Amino acid sequence: MHIRALNLILFFSLFLIILTSNAAKVNNLNIVISEVMANPAAVSDSAGEWFEIFNAGSSIIDLNGYQLRDLGSNAHTISSTSALNLSPGEYFVLGRNADPLLNGGYIPDYVYSNFSLGNNSDEIIINDGIRDIVSLSYSNNSVFGVNGNSAEILSDLSYGLSPVNFTYGLGDIGSPGEAGSYQVSPAAVPEPTSILLFLVGLVLLFSFRKKYLASTR
Ligand SMILES: [Ca+2]
Ligand SMILES: [Ca+2]
Ligand SMILES: [Ca+2]
- Cα separation, 40 vs 151, in Å, equals 11
Is 58 a member of any domain? yes
Q: Which residues contact 202 (CB under 8 A, 6 or more apart)?
A: 14, 17
Query: Domain total for the chain?
Result: 1
Q: Are 205 and 175 in contact (CB under 8 A)?
A: no
Domain that holds residue 165: 31-173
- CATH number of the domain to which 57 belongs: 2.60.40.1260
Where the chain has pLDDT below 70, the residues are: 1-3, 5-29, 187-206, 208-209, 212-217
Q: Cα(192) to centroid of ligand 1, in Å?
A: 39
* 216 in a structural domain: no
| Residues above pLDDT 90, as percent of the chain | 68
Q: What is the DSSP letter of 74?
A: -
Q: For position 66, what pLDDT does the model report?
A: 97
CA distance 104 to 63: 25
Per-residue model confidence (pLDDT) at position 57: 93
Q: Which residue type, as a one-letter code, is found at position 39?
A: N
pLDDT in tens, 76-110: 999 999 999 999 999 999 999 999 999 999 999 99
Distance 39 CA to ligand 1 centre (A): 4
> Is 88 contained in some domain?
yes
Centre of ligand 3 to C-alpha 35, Å, is 5
pLDDT on residue 32: 95
Rounded to the nearest angstrom, the distance between the alpha carbon of 115 and the centre of ligand 3 is 20
> Residue 198: its pLDDT value, please?
64
The ligand with the least distance to the CA atom of 96 is: 1
Question: Is 8 contained in some domain?
Answer: no
Q: Is residue 102 part of a domain?
A: yes
Domain presence at residue 14? no
Average pLDDT over the chain, rounded to whole? 85
How far is the centre of ligand 1, averaged over its atoms, from the C-alpha of 118 (Å)? Answer: 4
Please check whether residue 165 lies inside any domain of the structure: yes
Return the ligand number nearest the Cα of 47.
1
Q: Is 138 contained in some domain?
A: yes
Write the single-letter amino acid at 124. Answer: I
